């Protein structure tokens, strides 16, 4: 027994077995017992630490000084990096949605592209509005607009929904301030500016292939009508009277400001503020002399938390105060939008703790040795691990934070550039969205909101996510081979 324990704790095969068992237990707890991912990650991380023989004082610290423990540094390190960003991003998305920004963008795009180009317009709508808005919130907000466009065009709902969903999924998977990319920035030590650049570079080809090419192809072959009840906009009704369909959540989200709708350029400018500021700091670091006044200004303004705070304050004024909202109403909107963020942050923190344990046990070094012997590039390993976790348990966030924790030691040992690390992050993000199926909550939201059977959802949405994943990873892998 003692020899087996020593083998597990001190040899490369043994450490790999421990890692594999820990991940299997994690997936079993989430899938079989339906345990909340936050609890499952925390339990599995503690169990792996004890099984690997880490000292208790290193795992949880002491009663007097717990601050240096893996538990607190694992949670605190990542949450200190992402909590403010995710919170501000959520508030920005809420004020943009509530002001009627989605309706304005839809009208402008439909006018530009016409009825025949409406699917492309819907794709761009999802792409643009998806930058500041979480994926599921984007569906709740944009679905009624898709219904109207599909009814007016007289074609399958699938033809209009798939491009929009591809845009929302791409931005959610690859671009800050969404939780996955932000978490990867902290786990892998890469700036959000490079993640934004590589997110667009890798994600746009995937969006075109999945949303426009595949969406158009499958939209002509899977015919889905828009039910009449889906066309009722219940903004003037209370949620209790809206039923169980898409209107219920739309009504529960509070009414939008319908008077004097904001211009499309104003909405676009507000969305662009944090992206421009963050990219300014990234390029400034490369082009300007260290210690210069201009670089200091760009660095301060381009810090993600500061950039998003500026965008939120601008949005509060131009979309809120200037349009008649009171500070109290904006505060209520902020509180309402932040309610769902708590569990998300706990999952990310627990995933980072799990990754910290993996790093402390030396499993990362063992994986590096195995990978080198097999000749498997780190970007391929990262993608495959992320794919496996996504397919097995359904949560993209769990797949991202777990994979990020596993590969972070490998990335650190190789001394990659920021561009290369950002491309590895894109590979992890791409793997985290592959093959959405029945264990993914988003699968059921899409089936319900777009009147799809399970078979139709698998034919349309599941394939779309796989195409988006594979194409985006292919772009990341090719660029990685060039720059590394």
Using DSSP's 3-state secondary structure scheme, residue 194 falls into: helix
For 369-402, write each residue's pLDDT tens digit: 666 567 788 999 999 989 988 887 788 888 898 8
> Residue 177, preceding bond cis, omega within 30 degrees?
yes
- H/E stretch holding 305 reads helix 304-315
Burial class (CB in 10 A: 0-12, 13-18, 19+), 154: exposed
**Mapping DSSP to helix (H, G, I), strand (E, B) and coil, where does residue 140 land?**
helix
- Check residue 240 and give its pLDDT: 35
C-alpha span between 401 and 185 (Å, rounded)? 11
pLDDT digits (tens, 9 = 90+) for 405-424: 888 888 888 889 999 999 99
pLDDT at 103: 79
Rounded to the nearest angstrom, the gap between the alpha carbon of residue 154 and the centroid of all alpha carbons in its chain is 33
pTM summary value: 0.78
- pLDDT at residue 90, as a whole number: 84
Contacting residues for 46 by C-beta, under 8 A, at least 6 apart: 59, 71, 357
- Low-confidence spans in the chain with pLDDT less than 70: 1, 66-67, 229, 231-260, 364-365, 367-373
pLDDT at 233: 44
**Strand boundaries in 55-197, DSSP class E:** none
């Amino acid at each position: 027994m003692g020899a087996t324990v020593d083998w597990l704790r001190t040899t490369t095969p043994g450490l790999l077995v421990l890692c594999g068992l820990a991940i299997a237990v994690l997936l079993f707890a989430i899938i079989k017992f339906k345990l909340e991912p936050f609890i499952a990650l925390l339990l599995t991380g503690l169990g792996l630490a004890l099984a690997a023989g880490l000292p208790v004082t290193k795992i949880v610290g002491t009663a007097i000084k717990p601050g240096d423990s893996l538990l607190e540094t694992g949670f605190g390190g990542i949450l200190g990096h992402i909590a403010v960003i995710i919170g501000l991003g959520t508030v920005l998305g809420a004020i943009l949605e509530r002001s009627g920004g989605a309706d304005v963008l839809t009208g402008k795009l439909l006018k530009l592209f016409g009825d025949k180009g409406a699917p492309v317009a819907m794709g761009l709508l999802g792409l643009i509005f998806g930058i500041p808005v979480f994926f599921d919130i984007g569906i709740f907000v944009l679905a009624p607009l898709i219904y109207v466009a599909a009814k007016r065009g007289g074609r399958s709902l699938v033809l209009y929904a798939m491009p929009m969903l591809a845009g929302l999924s791409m931005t959610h998977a690859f671009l800050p301030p969404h939780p996955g990319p932000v978490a990867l920035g902290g786990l892998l030590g890469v700036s959000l500016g490079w993640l934004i650049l590589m997110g667009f570079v890798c994600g746009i080809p995937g969006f075109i292939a999945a949303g426009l090419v595949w969406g158009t192809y499958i939209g002509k072959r899977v015919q889905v009508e828009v039910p009449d009840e889906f066309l009722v906009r219940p903004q003037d009704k209370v949620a209790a009277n809206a039923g169980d369909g898409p209107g219920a959540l739309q009504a529960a989200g509070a009414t939008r400001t319908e008077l004097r709708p904001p211009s499309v350029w104003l909405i676009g400018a507000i969305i662009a503020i944090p992206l421009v500021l963050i990219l300014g700091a990234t390029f400034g670091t490369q082009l300007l002399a260290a210690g210069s006044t201009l670089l200091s200004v760009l660095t301060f303004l381009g810090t993600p938390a500061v950039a998003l705070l500026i965008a939120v304050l601008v949005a509060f004024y131009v979309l809120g105060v200037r349009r008649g909202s009171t500070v109290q109403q904006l505060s209520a909107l902020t509180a309402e939008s932040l309610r769902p963020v708590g569990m998300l942050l706990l999952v990310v923190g627990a995933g980072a703790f799990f990754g910290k344990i993996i790093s402390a046990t030396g499993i990362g070094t063992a994986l590096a040795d195995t990978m080198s012997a097999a000749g498997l590039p780190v970007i391929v390993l990262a993608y495959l691990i992320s794919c496996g976790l996504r397919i097995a348990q359904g949560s993209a966030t769990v797949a991202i934070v777990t994979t990020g924790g596993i590969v972070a030691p490998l990335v650190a040992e190789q001394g990659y550039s920021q561009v290369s690390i950002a491309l590895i992050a894109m590979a992890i993000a791409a793997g985290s969205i592959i093959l959405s199926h029945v264990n993914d909550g988003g699968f059921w939201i899409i089936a319900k909101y777009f009147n799809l059977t399970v078979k139709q959802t698998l034919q349309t949405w599941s394939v779309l996510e796989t195409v988006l994943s594979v194409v985006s990873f292919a772009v990341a892998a090719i660029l990685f081979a060039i720059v590394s």
